[in-house]
Amino acid sequence: MKLRFILNGQAIELEAPPEKRLIDLLREDLHLTGAKEGCGEGECGSCTVLLDDAAVHACLVLAGQIDGHSVTTIEGLGKDGDLDPLQTAFIENMAIQCGYCTPGMIMAARGLLLKNLDPSEAEIRNAISGNICRCAGYTQIIQAIQEAAKAYRKEAQL
Amino acid sequence: MNHTYIGKDMPIENAAAKAMGRLVYCGDMSLPHMAYMKLVLSPVAHGIVRAIHTEKAAAIPGVLAVLTPDNTPAITYDRGRVLANQQAPAQETIFSRHVRFAGDRIAAVVAETPAAALEAAALVEVQIDPLPAAFTPEDALTLEQPIHDKDSVITLPTASCGDFDEEVGELFTHQTSTQRITHVAMENHCALADYDPATRHMTIWTPTQSVFGVRSVVCTVLGLPMNRVRVIKTPMGGSFGCKQEMILEPLVACAAQMLGRPVMLQFDRREVMLCTVLKHPLASQVQAKIDAAHKVKGLRIDVTLDAGAYQSVSPDYAETMAKKFSWVYDIPSIEYRARSVCTNTPVSGSYRGWGGPEVALILENTMNAYAKKQGLDPIDFRLKNILPPFSQGKFISYNLGSLPFREALQAGRARFQWDARKQALASQDRDGRYLKGLGMALSTHTSGYFPRRLDWGRVILKMEEDGTVQINLCVHDHGCGEVTALKSIAAEELRLSPDEIELQEGDTAYNALDNGCYTSRSVYVLGKAVQEASQSLLKELYRYGACLLQAPPEALFHGGGQVFVREEPSRACTYSDIAYYCADHGAGALMIDHNHIPESNPGPVAAHFCQVEVDRLTGQCQVTDYLAVHDVGQAINPASCRSQVASALQQGMGFVFCEKIQLDEKTGRVKNADLQRYHVVRAAELPPLDILFIEQPDEKGPYGAKSLGEACALPVAPALVAAVNDALDMDLTQLPLSPEGILKALSERK
């Protein structure tokens, strides 16, 4: 089917089978390899992207579902070549190890912060409980998300 | 000592690329004309493949080839060996007509697209005549027809010291058994090979722990000369041991050679869980002799490892465990017996710690159970038995370094408020729904291979004309910061910014032969090599700087990419000036070729302390507090060190409470080869983690560093097990301690 959707802020149009998984559409057709596939069943979160403003697992979303919607991937984060506050916070808080879970983790955090700019630690832990990181213990990731939330709040006040 | 980079939190190499999703992992690569491979796996646990029908698969549009045992090499190899002259049980072929577990490789399809490969692989029809199968070592020992013609069961020679029978003391027996688990590295296995028939060059990209190991296996299987096979390590999305063995690389190399074009094999999670490697299921029996003064006088250990369908590294794994029983406590007599038994189950192999966590679990469970039985404080009991500093274990011939067992135990006791907690818990309501317990465990590990062969760090350090530095060293970053640590070491020595140091990872075309990044050796061995090479480069900079500045080398000083005259700092030249001076004056390039061969291997001490709350109604355990005390010598990058410890805790909690690969008892098939049914610990379940680093520099380590990456994985499980047993006043020793298992044990006690 012909898909019309917003990808990282740009309107695009492409032909794809409606049952194609969003993760495959992104990686194979659009060459956006930031979202990773770790389990293929919505358990590990490494393929997390935003569908409109909600964090979703790209392995569980089908191409047909994105028609008329907006998809944001890790590549679409940040403005004018600057890193998004979440990306900066992940780097500065040493919240990155092997990096394989990082794009999904950041997008899950972005989804949370779009709904709640001042999340508690428990809310953060819950929001990323669908994202697995095996190289660390989530502590630095949680700190990074808290720092980023601060930066977003500051930005919102300006 | 004040350092600029050592001991400072540093973001990991490529942090920005990782945060932006721009780092290219193997599965993100694509090459012109790249084809995709999909395996056909045996649904049967043991049998002989009578027929393989490939016609339907071959007819799918886009299918380029179907690989079977009939058109691929039948050469046997061992997935775990690094050098071809290693004694290793070579039981495996690329594809097999004798399938030995549900998941064994029978064939593969290569196609233009992943979808075509997937579709076609499902259409390969296989007829298998089943054979009797065994899913446990006990059953395997009774099989009439062994799983392999040779080496289905390998019994190691008994390792012993002293005389157990002569030791006097109370006999205390204990058993520990563990389950099969998977590593759950977030990046599933992937490999890409390209073969050019015109030049006969093979290039393989893979997130491996040993590029030379890959080359060795590929060359053996395909009969290629080593200098025409180039293996390049790609960024690794976690390993924890699962990317140590050479599993996918021979397959893609074979297909690439057959087709003369690039071929990628990307496993999904199910394939990783079925046909890479898993942690060994293990059963152990311990007899200990402990005298009236509570000194452990003798240990007799009997261990059976379930190797899975192919022996591979399992006998070696079992063998390395012997010495690990001897280097925490001063035990005069030890007897260690082990056997590695093939079963018709997924292959067991390397897992973070390589026997260390198994030994720690068996030994510490025994120590904790004895202390509990005798009403001894487990810390006091250990203080009576620990090896003194600078001891050596019984089965090794080298000094273990400062071994601060006492400091770790005492520091942990104080920081965790062990005695106060113990007192508080003594008065808890034993009939209440929630019961709390305390646990602790002690261990040590390796910092390298010494005195085993194949342990060196060969580094070429070159200074470019602009004063920046390239390090050529065969390093394989697991994703936990080896490259960052090595760059910090060079930066510290040369007083450059780490940004001015470049270090590409393992590449057989440019690196000197290297065993691979195993056994937590990267910082201790390769870090020292980098440190020494940097010091040599500095000498060269002083030597030529002295010519440029017309001052004696001993009058010089360096910093900020410059060499100065110490007494007259305005007389200075940049590293770049020196590099151009060398080029212009016939001295050639500024380059150091250094070989560091370690002569030491200190044991990094770890003591962990925890509190667990058990819900007697549901059997659920919650870890409420955790302290990890680690003797790291010197934390090169404390942020990475903390991540390592945190990762060890979450993986250890999974091992103890919830992770288990379940096999169907009748078919031997894995019942939960996915992350929906295989549970790992999530962010919301982790306790607050307190970490204390003991930093007493090792004499030989780079800036005094010892290893950490595996050491921190050792004490987690026994500490947690002890806390659960303390809470329940039980002695549960069969992992995992699942809610169902705990409820069953509680109901049986009633």
Closest CA–CA distance from residue B708 to any residue of chain A (Å): 13
């939190």: which residue's tokens?
A: B9
CA angle B559, B564, B565 (to 5 degrees): 145
Phi, psi of B442 (to 5 degrees): -130, 145
CA dist., res. B501 & res. B592, Å (int): 15
Chain A closest-CA separation from residue B31 CA (Å): 13
ω before B404 within 30° of 0 (cis)?
no
Query: CB under 8 Å to B202, separation ≥6 — which residues?
Result: B193, B194, B195, B218, B222, B224, B228, B229, B230, B253, B256, B257
Per-residue pLDDT tens digits for B543-554: 999 999 999 999
Q: What does the DSSP assignment read for A11-57?
A: EEEEE--TTSBHHHIIIIIS---SS--SSSSSSS-TTEEEETTEEEE
Q: Is the pLDDT of residue B466 over 90?
A: yes
Q: What does the H/E/C string look like for B208-253? A: CCCHHHHHHHHHHHHCCCHHHEEEEECCCCCCCCCCCCCCCHHHHH
Of B544, B505, B545, the residue nearest B526 (C-alpha): B505
* Single-letter amino acid code for the residue at B516: G
pLDDT band at B586 (very low <50, low <70, confident <90, very high): confident
| Chain A environment of B21 (Cβ under 8 Å) | 32-35, 73-75, 102-103
Nearest to B268 among A40, A78, A140 (CB): A40
pLDDT of B489-518, one tens digit each? Answer: 999 999 999 999 999 999 999 999 999 999
pLDDT digits (tens, 9 = 90+) for B419-446: 999 999 999 999 999 999 999 999 999 9
Q: What is the pLDDT averaged over residues B116-134?
A: 98
CA gap B295, B312 in Å, rounded: 38
User: In sequence order, what are the residues at sequence separation of 6 or more whose Cβ sits closer than 8 angstroms to the Cβ of residue B29?
Assistant: B192, B205, B234, B264
Domain co-membership, B242 together with B343: no
The amino acid occupying position B614 is V
Return d(Cα B608, Cα B411) in angstroms, integer: 11
CB atoms within 10 A of CB B374: 13
Beta strands across the sheet bearing B469-472 = B501-504, B469-472, B457-463, B590-596
At how many degrees (to 10) do helices A139-157 and B638-653 cross? 120
CB contacts, 8 Å: B10 with chain A: 94
Give residues 257 to 296 of B whose Cβ lies within 8 Å of A: 268-269
Kindly state whether residues B472 and B582 are assigned to the same domain. Answer: yes
* Model confidence pLDDT, tens digit, residues B152-201: 999 999 999 999 999 999 999 999 999 999 999 999 999 999 999 999 99
Residues B215 and B250 in one domain: yes
Q: How many CA atoms lie within 13 A of B605 on its CB side?
A: 34
A47 vs B contacts (CB less than 8 Å): none
What pLDDT, in 10s, does the model give residues B346-405?
999 999 999 999 999 999 999 999 999 999 999 999 999 999 999 998 999 999 999 999
Domain count, chain B: 3
Helices and strands counted in chain A (H then E): 6, 5
Per CB-CB distance under 8 Å, the chain B contacts of A77 are: 20
Please indicate, yes or no, if residue B160 is contained in any of the structural domains: no
Strand order in the sheet with B125-130: B98-99, B47-53, B125-130
CA neighbor of B308 nearest in space, from B353, B266, B265, B277: B277
C-alpha to C-alpha distances, B419 to B11, B230, B427, B558, B629, nearest whole angstrom: 38, 58, 13, 51, 17
Backbone angles phi, psi at B749, to 5 degrees: -70, -35
Q: List chain B residues with CB under 8 Å of A87.
A: 16, 19-20
Six token digits for residue B54: 């490939």
State whether B400 and B464 are in the same domain: no
Nearest to A83 among B19, B237, B268 (CB): B19
Residue B139 resides in a domain:
no
pLDDT at B453 over 80: no
Hey, is the C-beta of B240 within 8 angstroms of any chain A C-beta?
yes
Residue A158 pLDDT class (50, 70, 90 cuts): confident
Phi then psi dihedrals of residue B653, to 5 deg: -65, -40
Cβ atoms A8, B21 nearer than 8 A: no
The SS3 assignment for B301 reads strand
Nearest to B661 by CA among B676, B671, B650: B671
d(CA B405, CA B413): 12
Tens of pLDDT, residue by residue over A94-141, are 999 999 999 999 999 999 999 999 999 999 999 999 999 999 989 999
CATH second-level architecture of A2-76? Roll (3.10)
Full residue range of the structural domain in which residue B706 is found: 282-447+601-749
| Residue A83 DSSP label | P
Please identify among residues 496-555 of chain B the ones whose CB lies closer than 8 Å to any CB of chain A: none
Gap between the Cα atoms of B319 and B335, Å rounded: 13
**Which residues lie below 8 Å from residue B367, measured CB to CB, with a gap of 6+?**
B296, B329, B378, B381, B382, B385, B442
Q: What is the CATH number of the domain that holds B295?
A: 3.30.365.10
Q: Which of B537, B644, B605, B481 is nearest to B5 (CA)?
A: B481
Tell me if B683 and A141 make a contact (CB, 8 A cut-off): yes
Question: Which residue ranges make up each domain of chain A?
Answer: 2-76, 85-157
Q: What is the pairing mode between strands B35-41 and B263-266? A: parallel
Cβ of B481 under 8 Å from any chain A Cβ?
yes
Q: Are B539 and B465 in contact (CB under 8 A)?
A: no
The pLDDT value given to residue B1:
65
Render pLDDT for B510-569 as a digit per residue (tens, 0 to 9): 999 999 999 999 999 999 999 999 999 999 999 999 999 999 999 999 999 999 999 999
Contact status of B186 with chain A (Cβ, < 8 Å) = yes
B407 vs B729: CA distance, rounded Å: 29
Find residue B129's DSSP bridge partners.
Answer: B48
Contact A137 B185 (CB under 8 A): no
Kindly list the strands in the beta sheet with B568-574, ordered across the sheet, starting from the edge strand earlier in the chain. Answer: B556-559, B562-565, B568-574
Q: Yes or no: say if B711 and B441 are a contact pair by the CB < 8 Å rule.
A: no
pLDDT digits (tens, 9 = 90+) for B272-288: 999 999 999 999 999 99
Same domain as B242, residue B325: no
Rg (CA), chain A: 15
Is B295 in the same domain as B256?
no
Instruction: For residue B639, give the chain A residue with the closest CA.
Output: A94
State the complex-level ipTM.
Answer: 0.98
Query: Which chain A residues are within 8 Å of B647, Cβ to Cβ?
Result: 97, 134-137
Task: State the best of B20, B28, B234, B610 to mutate against chain A, taking most chain A CBs within 10 Å.
Answer: B20
List residues bridging with B614 in a β-sheet. Answer: B435, B621
Long-range contacts of B620-623 (CB under 8 A, 24+ apart): B620/B739, B621/B657, B621/B720, B621/B724, B621/B737, B621/B739, B621/B742, B622/B685, B622/B687, B623/B653, B623/B686, B623/B687, B623/B720, B623/B723
Is residue B53 assigned to a domain? yes
- Residues from chain A that touch B11, judged by Cβ atoms under 8 A, are 91-92, 94, 96
Given B546, B579, B596, which residue is the final one in a domain?
B596
Answer yes or no: do B431 and B460 share one domain: no
CATH number of A85-157: 1.10.150.120
**B364 & B263 share domain:** no
pLDDT (0 to 100) of residue A70: 98
DSSP of B112-175, one letter per residue?
A: SSHHHHHHHHHH-EEEEEE----SSHHHHTT-SS-SSSS-SEEEPPPEEES-GGG--SEEEEEE
The reply to whether B469 and B427 lie within a common domain is: no
Residues B544 and B658 in one domain: no
Mean pLDDT of B235-253: 97
Kindly determine whether residue A38 and residue B188, on different chains, have CB atoms separated by under 8 Å.
Answer: yes
Are B556 and B612 part of one and the same domain?
no
Nearest CA in chain B to A78: B20
Q: Do B185 and A41 touch (CB under 8 A)?
A: no
Residue B650: phi and psi, rounded to 5, are: -70, -35
Closest to B560 (Cα-Cα) out of B577, B575, B549: B575
Q: What angle do CA B150, B153, B157 make, to 5 degrees?
A: 110
Answer whether B677 touches A (CB < 8 Å).
no
What is the average pLDDT across B325-332?
A: 97
**Phi, psi for residue B294 in degrees, rounded to 5:** 65, 35
Does one domain contain both B644 and B588? no
What Rg do the C-alpha atoms of chain B give, in angstroms? 27
In a domain, B399, yes or no: yes
Residue B485 in any domain: the answer is yes
Helix (H) or strand (E) holding B371: helix B356-374
Task: Using DSSP bridges, classify how beta strands A10-15 and A2-7 pair: parallel, antiparallel or unpaired.
Answer: antiparallel
pLDDT tens by residue, B670-711: 999 999 999 999 998 999 999 999 999 999 999 999 999 999
Q: What is the mean pLDDT of chain B?
A: 97
Out of B219, B253, B275, a domain closes at B275
